Amino acid sequence: MKRINYQQGILAIIAVMLFAFTTVSCNRTSKNRVCKHWSIETVHSFPNTNWAFEEEVLDFPFEIKDTTRSYDVSVILRYDTSVVTLTDIPLSLTLSAPDGMKSFSASHFLLDMETNKDIKMVDGHAEATVLVYPSRKFKNLGTHTLTVYRRAEKADNYGFISLATKVAVAK
């Protein structure tokens, strides 16, 4: 029979307690802070930092498991300010529900740091965020899809690292 030393036993108990606390505190009816700030982030990285013509339409699926809450749906663009020469990128967005219903929106990224004071520097790269659907109530459970259509004038756009969507419980 294998002996478990005292430290391994304590670590195992702590791990089980943390797992149980997270599982119990994150049920749908919980008002715990852990679940209140729930979010899903899906990232699409651009090969060779080129937002190429072939990727001008991107789909970002996400799962909604609670229709009683409102969600903020954002699009986040990371880019290299030393390479990108565009000052803005117009976008057309489509939000598709599991039942086939669609919602359309138009927006754009302002990439000029002088104009857009909300741009953050993260790991040496600029990060611009656009809140596309604020406090959105979803009527259907299941997989929804945010389709982002880039309407930039140039076919290839270098200096772009990634495009992400973030779906978070609205504050």
Percent of the chain with pLDDT strictly greater than 70: 78
Strand order across the 120-122 sheet: 39-45, 160-169, 70-79, 125-137, 120-122
pLDDT band at 113 (very low <50, low <70, confident <90, very high): confident
State mean pLDDT over 114-123. Answer: 91
**For residue 79, what pLDDT is reported?**
95
Please determine, for residue 89, whether its predicted confidence score (pLDDT) is greater than 50: yes
Residue 116 corresponds to which tokens in the numbers above? Answer: 């857009």
**For residue 154, what pLDDT is reported?**
73
pTM, entire model? 0.75
Q: Which of 141, 139, 136, 138 is nearest to 65 (CA)?
A: 141
